[in-house]
Structure 1
Amino acid sequence: MFNSLRKIYREWKGLQAFKQLPKEQRRLVFYSEGCGYWTYFEAVFKALLDEYALPVVYVTSAEDDPLLLAPREGLQTFYVGDGSMRTLFFSTLDVQVLLMTMPDLQSFHIKRSPHPVHYAYLHHSIVSTHMVYRQAAFDHFDSILCVGPHHVDETRAREQLAGLPPKILIEHGYGRLDAILHEGHSGPLLRTPDLPGQVLVAPTWGENGLLELHGLDAISPLIEAGLRVILRPHPRTRKLRPDVLDRIVEHYRDEPLFCLDEDGDARKSLLESDIMVSDWSGAALEFSLGLERPTLFVDVARKILNPAYESLDREPLEARIREQIGVIISPQELAGLGGKAAELIKNARQWQVDICTARDRWIFNSGKSGSVAAAHLFSLLD
């Protein structure tokens, strides 16, 4: 009880401190829904500071957000939690521009402010807008920073279908992909014969997720093939189905080839893995398009949050791109997953050209998306 009251008081203090900022100091605000989201804002923030000397206000719902303790130069940080203070933050917001990665504005309890705020949406996944998001997820934003041409096409089609006014659509790109490219680790890894290949298992969450449906059966064949396995579950799996993860971790408690990675960023696991095993997770697109290494897709049922997605008459990118960046196997073939993974690691270099071609086709402004976003946001300010 005491801890709960203390948390609410801290959120209230954060909201009051934000409101006390002079309006000229809170023209542009980033809202982050959790610790793992800074990676999507970072390139935009850096470009705003480097190219426009424009400071940013950062409001977070994560109590343990590292930026609260050690904010970057040019960044003022505030904590409002994810409860009533966050709702109040949104309902009373009086700033010129708010940049956020959280969809479904206006659909539930997070509403647009009565003040004339420009709401800009920053995509935190490469996947399409109409299957794994709710139907109206992006309807109430004023501008959208699009990852690639699929986002532009889908958003315009949705506007026409629903009779919505046209938004400002920016051919932006994807900051997290740029960060991976800038680190210079793209391309298949060179392994000596005595080192086992490493597989990053990173599926999505939900009742049709690979772990939720198949659990140990998705891990065991890889271990049995002598491959090192890094399991990176979606945070929602940990929250909604901890029993699935606990069963796997307990089973492999003394297995040196197995490791659980629940770091929100998980950059090390990403860079050091030869291939990824996934399902419908957007993480697979980041992995393959950023590191130019293939993904092995287990073809579980599609993750669908919008049952009416087919009304847009567009195949989602996460379905279209699979065979351009990897191999698809059915769940009935899981017993042979280890052999398939070993073969894909052995032939990984053969995929590099096709993956680079897919990246050029589907991603705007690779390597320089931050500058594009910064120019748009700066243009919106008085």
Structure 2
Amino acid sequence: MKKIILSIFISIICFQAPAFAYLDPGTGSMLLSALIGIVATVFFMLKTLYYKLSGGFLSLFGVKIEKKKHGIVFYSEGKSYWRTFKPVLEALDKKGIQATYLTSSEDDEGLQFQSNTIDCKYIGEGNKAYTQLNMLEADVCVMTTPGLDVLQIQRSKGVKHYSHVVHAPTDAGLYKLYSFDYYDSVLCSGQHQIDSLRYLEQLRGTESKLLTHAGCPYMDVLAERLDQEKPVVRDIQGLPHVLIAPTWGNNGLLKRFGLSLLKPLAEQGYPITIRPHPQSFIAESELMNELQLELKTFANVKWDRSADNFDVLANSDIMISDLSGVIFDYAFVFEKPVITMQFEANLLGTEANDLPDKVWELNVLNQIGKQISVDELASLPELVKSLTTNANIRQNIVMLRDESLFNYRHSGEVIAQQLIDIQASVNGSEHSLMNLSAVDTSKKMDLAS
């Protein structure tokens, strides 16, 4: 029976009929994902029938057939997310809880994780991974990947509960449309995420999700590393070291302001490290080449393309950036000021368009440093110096972190326990959800509020 089911599946996937039409890669991927979803449904129907028939027959001879099923499963779409999952898996390991870590990155550091209770596996990339995930059987599936049941990853009939871990302190409004709608729970890093998700639920009439006060695990990893290492701030002529760390694309700092931002600091001798988003060297290679050529005569300007950003974050005094998520890593963990530029962010296609107010980030930029206009670029060197000597900046940053980030430095333990309680709940424990630490069980927000 198993061989027949496998043969049907392979035949459907491999068969190619002639078609006189063009499909772009995105559409083709979506259609293939839909096909995988249909096949998965048929697979589970046939598998259930197989177990019932064979189980009933073999039970006459005292033989039992056990279905392979997981407890808590984590899926990582790339190696950069290991820092988010690591503290949670370590906490589960200490508690002796069985779990499985699946990754789509062959060089994921998590594959080297040593544990007697955590099984770590590489499952391939793209549709190879999606196929396995769409046929997964587990009590709880935990992901940082948005768009469940919207993009390529579909809800498997064999999974009882899907949980999303928000892997950054940024507002849910900055994600693409319907990123969280079909998850059963979202483990949030701050109250602003809960507020946005509750609003969107009422706006769309979707079922209320379980929203927990979780935290941001990768920040705990950064904080622990900062405790262990003693960064040395480099110094040139007593001037503060400036880190330029923009995102890429239309909202990117370098694309919008370029040399008008960089040259005033370089000409006054400020030590500068420029760390563009890796995608900039691919999608904006002409711009990168132009900037490097114009700045090559400045000995105080360095470019950083290292895989690990810890050293440049630790060994600088102030950051200049845009809406890149790294600004909150820098402010909350390293407790250093950030300068951002005022411009109209392109939020087309994001959840922000359905929210009644500005996303959280745009309201707090002056609390972690200062947001300036293009007209203030000429005075940027003086602003850098004043912010790095302002004793109140660090106090403001710590206050905002305490208000906006749940369970700083111990979110891994909190999330691990929340997942244990969720697993107990889906398996019939009546009191398990009552044990969840700091769960948001509020009703949907009033749209008029």
Same fold (TM over 0.5): yes
Give the letter aligned to residue 68 of structure 2.
K
- Partner in structure 2 of residue 46 of structure 1: 90
- Partner in structure 1 of residue 72 of structure 2: 28
Q: TM-score, normalised by structure 1?
A: 0.84
Q: How many angstroms does 1:307 deviate by?
A: 5.7
Give the letter aligned to residue 152 of structure 1.
I
Residue from 170, 176, 180 that aligns with 2:222: 180
Mapping for residues 218-367 of structure 1, pairs under 5 Å: 218-253=261-296, 255-306=298-349, 309-347=352-390, 349-367=391-409
Q: TM-score, normalised by structure 2?
A: 0.72
**Could you report, residue by residue, the CA deviation over 1:179-234 in whole angstroms, capped at 9, with x for unpaired residues?**
33333499x98777845422221222321211222233333322223222222222
Which structure's CA Rg is the greater one? Answer: 2
- SS of 2:397's equivalent? helix
Higher RCO, 1 vs 2 (CA within 8 Å, ≥6 residues apart): 1
Q: How many angstroms does 1:308 deviate by?
A: 6.3
- Partner in structure 2 of residue 18 of structure 1: none
- SS of 2:398's equivalent? helix
2:140–2:159: 8 Å Cα contact kept in structure 1? no
2:239–2:385: 8 Å Cα contact kept in structure 1? no
2:234–2:316: 8 Å Cα contact kept in structure 1? no
- Partner in structure 1 of residue 143 of structure 2: 100
Using the alignment, how far apart are the partners of 1:289 and 1:158 within structure 2?
27
**Could you report, residue by residue, the CA deviation over 1:236-294 in whole angstroms, capped at 9, with x for unpaired residues?**
43443233333334444564423333344411111111111111122112211222211
CA change 1:135–1:374 in 2 (3 A) is same
What percentage of aligned pairs have identical amino acids?
32
Structure 1 stretches of 5 or more lacking a match? 1-21
- Partner in structure 2 of residue 210 of structure 1: 253
- Partner in structure 2 of residue 60 of structure 1: 103
Give the letter aligned to residue 23 of structure 1.
K
1:93–1:115: 8 Å Cα contact kept in structure 2? yes
Mapping for residues 71-220 of structure 1, pairs under 5 Å: 71-74=113-116, 75-130=118-173, 132-182=174-224, 183-184=226-227, 194-220=237-263
**Could you report, residue by residue, the CA deviation over 1:111-146 in whole angstroms, capped at 9, with x for unpaired residues?**
22132342111112211111x211211111111111
Q: How many angstroms does 1:323 deviate by?
A: 1.2
**Could you report, residue by residue, the CA deviation over 1:54-106 in whole angstroms, capped at 9, with x for unpaired residues?**
243222222332334x3333543322333220221222122222211111122
Using the alignment, how far apart are the partners of 1:253 and 1:76 within structure 2?
48
- Higher mean C-alpha displacement, 333-342 vs 360-369: 333-342
Structure 2 stretches of 5 or more lacking a match? 1-66, 428-449
1:106–1:112: 8 Å Cα contact kept in structure 2? yes
Using the alignment, how far apart are the partners of 1:105 and 1:85 within structure 2?
17
Using the alignment, how far apart are the partners of 1:221 and 1:254 within structure 2?
14
- SS of 2:186's equivalent? strand
Using the alignment, how far apart are the partners of 1:99 and 1:357 within structure 2?
30
CA change 1:220–1:76 in 2 (3 A) is farther
2:233–2:314: 8 Å Cα contact kept in structure 1? no
CA change 1:96–1:237 in 2 (3 A) is farther
2:246–2:254: 8 Å Cα contact kept in structure 1? yes
1:206–1:303: 8 Å Cα contact kept in structure 2? no
Q: How many residues align?
A: 357
CA change 1:335–1:44 in 2 (3 A) is same
CA change 1:248–1:60 in 2 (3 A) is farther
CA change 1:248–1:166 in 2 (3 A) is same
2:93–2:115: 8 Å Cα contact kept in structure 1? no
Give the letter aligned to residue 344 of structure 2.
A
Using the alignment, how far apart are the partners of 1:30 and 1:236 within structure 2?
27
Give the letter aligned to residue 408 of structure 2.
S
Matched, 1:369 2:411: yes
Using the alignment, how far apart are the partners of 1:332 and 1:380 within structure 2?
52
- SS of 2:137's equivalent? coil
CA change 1:308–1:61 in 2 (3 A) is closer
Using the alignment, how far apart are the partners of 2:355 and 2:303 within structure 1?
38
Using the alignment, how far apart are the partners of 1:125 and 1:88 within structure 2?
27
Give the letter aligned to residue 210 of structure 1.
L
CA change 1:190–1:268 in 2 (3 A) is closer
Q: How many angstroms does 1:31 deviate by?
A: 1.4
- SS of 1:321's equivalent? helix
CA change 1:225–1:106 in 2 (3 A) is farther
Using the alignment, how far apart are the partners of 2:345 and 2:200 within structure 1?
21
Using the alignment, how far apart are the partners of 2:304 and 2:233 within structure 1?
23
**Could you report, residue by residue, the CA deviation over 1:321-375 in whole angstroms, capped at 9, with x for unpaired residues?**
111111111134334333322332233x321111111111111112211111000
- Partner in structure 2 of residue 5 of structure 1: none
- SS of 2:417's equivalent? helix
1:221–1:338: 8 Å Cα contact kept in structure 2? yes
